[in-house]
Amino acid sequence: MAFKKMVLGTLVVVGVAGVGGWFSLDKETRGLLATVPTNTDLLFWTQPQRDAAFRALDRLPIVTKSNVVATSGTPSALPAGPALKLPSDIDAYMAGQRSAAVLVLHDGKLRLERYGLGFDGAGRWTSFSVAKSFTSTLVGAAVKDGFIKSLDDKVSVYIPDLKGSAYDEVSVRQLLTMTSGVKWNEDYADPNSDVAKFNKHKPEEGMEALVSYMRKLPREVPAGTRFLYSTGETNLVGTLVQQATQKPLATYLAEKVWGPAGMEQQATWLLSKTGKEIGGCCVQAAPRDFARMGQFILNGAMVNGKSIVPDGWSLDATTKRTDIGQPGRGYGYQWWTYDDGSYAARGIFGQGIFIDPQRKLVIVSNANWAGGARDKVANDAREAFYREVQKTIDDEGAALAK
């Protein structure tokens, strides 16, 4: 095993450096090579390896490949607004978050933009599970375009290889809300959990790797009776969109969102071992484009006055569809919801897009939390930051009303 890790590290260094030499590489790739990962299991990389890799995952073709999400070439404006004057110390907050970027849009204007960990707005940071909410938006687009007939259709209508499995009883809507009732272990610290094992699964011949793994999972409770967070299920949502549209997710995202919404930089989407985008993870994008994505969703997924999703979709997707056992919280169609009408996309290491329609507010976070999804201190601090920004906006409004 140690020999395999050493060989992998050597191959990465030789393979990337051989493209054009060390000095022709950008700073993100050079930083990655300085702390090159010695295995392909990202969940168990060291903190320095993650710091370097999260800004350059799409620069490691020996470890993982990606598809490009193209832009239109005409970026939408992000006009500067008045500086947001927060009562707390933003530098201390970012240090505690191990933050690479924090951006706040209010009423479409950029009021806070800060960077850390040696990162800047010219680079791309990986989204992890923030991509789940992107994939959900593509489901809405596929319904509007007629590729998906109904959310009440069975998943196996669109993924025939799931026929005869536990997912044969699950609807598209139940997949979106993670209420399939199928057994799944999302413990990131457990190397034997499903979330750690499914990417290593050797697929059945002629079958997409994820589907090959998921079709073997047993039913635990009846479909629609409980919420269970499952990255595997969002990956199935991505497969469903790909098979329904007959397009790669990166292509469909470019067509429906990235180009029309005026993203400034191209993004990338990491691929599974069978060459398909991973629906539940890993869109690499510039922080300002994550902000534009949040604004696009806040505006009802509108392009030139027309929504790319069906009437009512945005509200349904971003309000509680199922209870998650936390007061004031819920889960929509791959969005985490708050009872005050706010909602958020979240990634395991502190990535996030928080959207508050009432205050016309978008908050973007790129980070590398020391404790990952288990980092309660970092998570609680970010929730407190959201509330602080909301209060600051409210106080500004009250002062203007006097």
Residues in the chain: 402
- Side chain identity, residue 52: A
* Contact yes or no for 355/106 (Cβ under 8 A): no
When pLDDT is cut at 50, 70 and 90, the band that residue 273 belongs to is: confident
**pLDDT at residue 11 in the model:** 44
Q: Are 386 and 354 in contact (CB under 8 A)?
A: yes
Where do the CATH 3.40.710.10 domains begin and end in the chain?
A: 90-401
Beta bridge partners, 277, equal: 271
Name which residue leads in pLDDT, 353 or 36: 353
Secondary structure class of 115 (helix, strand, coil): strand
pLDDT of residue 34: 58
pLDDT over 80 at 229, yes or no: yes
Residue 253 CB neighbour total at 10 angstroms: 28
Average pLDDT value over all residues in the chain: 90
Task: Give the CA distances from residue 352 to residues 103, 158, 308, 334, in Å, rounded to whole numbers and listed in that order.
Answer: 11, 30, 23, 13
Written as six digits, the tokens of 203 are 């697929």
Element of type H or E holding 156: none
Looking at residues 342-348, what average pLDDT do you find? 96
CB 79 within 8 A of CB 337: no
Closest by CA to 172, choosing from 144, 159, 157, 153, is 153
Of residues 336 and 399, more confidence is placed in 336
Give 81's pLDDT tier (boundaries 50, 70, 90).
Answer: very high
User: What pLDDT shows up at residue 14?
Assistant: 43
Residue pointed to by tokens 């590489």: 25
Q: What's the pLDDT score for residue 48?
A: 87
Q: Kindly tell me if the per-residue pLDDT of 9 is higher than 60.
A: no
Question: Is the pLDDT reported for residue 59 higher than 50?
Answer: yes
Per the listing, tokens 């607004």 go with 81
Tell whether domain 90-401 is in CATH 3.40.710.10: yes
pLDDT tens column, 352-392: 999 999 999 999 999 999 887 678 999 999 999 999 999 99
The confidence score (pLDDT) of residue 126 equals: 95
Amino acid at 93: Y
Position 6 scores a pLDDT of: 34
CA 135 – CA 282 distance, rounded (Å): 11
Q: What is the mean pLDDT of residues 256-273?
A: 95
**Count of helices and strands (H, E) across the chain:** 13, 13
> In the structure encoding, which two tokens stand for residue 55, read together?
């800004």
* Confidence at residue 251, expressed as pLDDT on a 0 to 100 scale: 98
Note the pLDDT of residue 4. Answer: 41
Between CA 234 and CA 129 the distance in angstroms is: 9
- pLDDT, residue 373, reads 66
Neighbouring CB atoms inside 10 A of 60's CB total: 21
| Distances in whole angstroms, Cα of residue 364 to Cα of each of 30, 249, 287, 354, 360 | 26, 22, 7, 7, 14
Q: What is the pLDDT of residue 402?
A: 80
Mean pLDDT of the region 312-326: 97
Tokens 């990338």, residue located: 268
Residue 102 has pLDDT above 60, yes or no: yes
**34: closest CA among 58, 12, 19?**
12
Q: Which of 280, 175, 274 is nearest to 217 (CA)?
A: 175
The mean per-residue pLDDT over the stretch 263-291 comes to: 94
Q: Quick one: pLDDT at residue 216?
A: 95
Range among 35-44, 149-158, 206-215, 266-275 rated most confident: 149-158
How far out from the chain centre does Cα 182 lie? 22
Highest mean pLDDT among 14-23, 42-51, 345-354: 345-354
Contacts of 12 (CB under 8 A, 6+ apart): 33, 36, 37, 60, 62, 63
Q: Pull the structure tokens for residue 215.
A: 């079709």
The pLDDT of 55-61, averaged and rounded, is 84
